[in-house]
Amino acid sequence: MKMMKVMMLIVMMMMVSEGSIIEPTCKETPDFSLCVSLLNSDPRGSSADTSGLALILIDKIKGLATKTLNEINGLYKKRPELKRALDECSRRYKTILNADVPEAIEAISKGVPKFGEDGVIDAGVEASVCQGGFNGRSPLTSLTKSMQKISNVTRAIVRMLL
């Protein structure tokens, strides 16, 4: 009887964990908790395969870049003295949205993840270049860090497809 209960418990645990590869996949990335929270926030996450997870994270990169660009646009009025750096950032984040993201989506959808990796890495690089333009007094520091972290997590997952 006791044995039966233990076995049923094991079977139930297997059923719960079956299907979602989010946790085991995120364990292989540099930021497990960020990875899990981003992927669990998307309804497609629980049934996605590895490339599906990569595509969800690329969507998150897109969302964060859009949010950052809005923040940049708002800063022109509040911090006019930062115009030069903001112009540079604006260009960088537009590159993420108009080049890196579509390139990565296309590459992964078509099964050529190597090119997807380039776009994902570049998103982090663009964010760092933007950050560097403020000489240590960036009003975008936390958004920059978020982009670098998502870029790193996404890169780790894209590399699993290579």
Ligand X SMILES: *[C@@H]1O[C@H](CO)[C@@H](O)[C@H](O)[C@H]1NC(C)=O
Structure tokens at 82: 């930062």
Residue 30 or 74: the one with the smaller Cβ distance to ligand X is 30
What value does the CA radius of gyration of the chain take, rounded to a whole number of Å? 19
Nearer to ligand X, 30 or 132 (CB): 30
Site string for ligand X, 9-48 (x = CB under 6 A): ---------------------x------------------
* Residue 59 near residue 42, CB atoms below 8 Å: yes
Kindly write out the interface string for residues 86-125 of this chain, putting x where it contacts ligand X by CB under 6 A and - elsewhere: ----------------------------------------
Residue 128 is a binding residue for ligand X (CB under 6 A): no
**Alpha-carbon gap, residue 145 to 127, rounded angstroms:** 8
> Is the distance from CB of 3 to CB of 124 less than 8 angstroms?
no
- 148 touching ligand X, by CB under 6 A: yes
Between residues 40 and 148, which has the closer beta carbon with respect to ligand X? Answer: 148
Tokens of 105: 């989506």
What token pair was written down for 2?
């006791």
The reply to whether 149 sits near ligand X by the rule CB under 6 A is yes
Does 152 engage in binding with ligand X (CB under 6 A)? yes
Question: Which range of residues in 2-10, 37-45, 82-90, 142-150 is near ligand X by CB under 6 A?
Answer: 142-150
DSSP for 19-83, written as a single string: S--HHHHHTTSS-HHHHHHHHHTSTTGGG--HHHHHHHHHHHHHHHHHHHHHHHHHHHHH-GGGH
Q: Which residues make up the interface to ligand X (CB under 6 A)? A: 30, 145, 148-149, 152
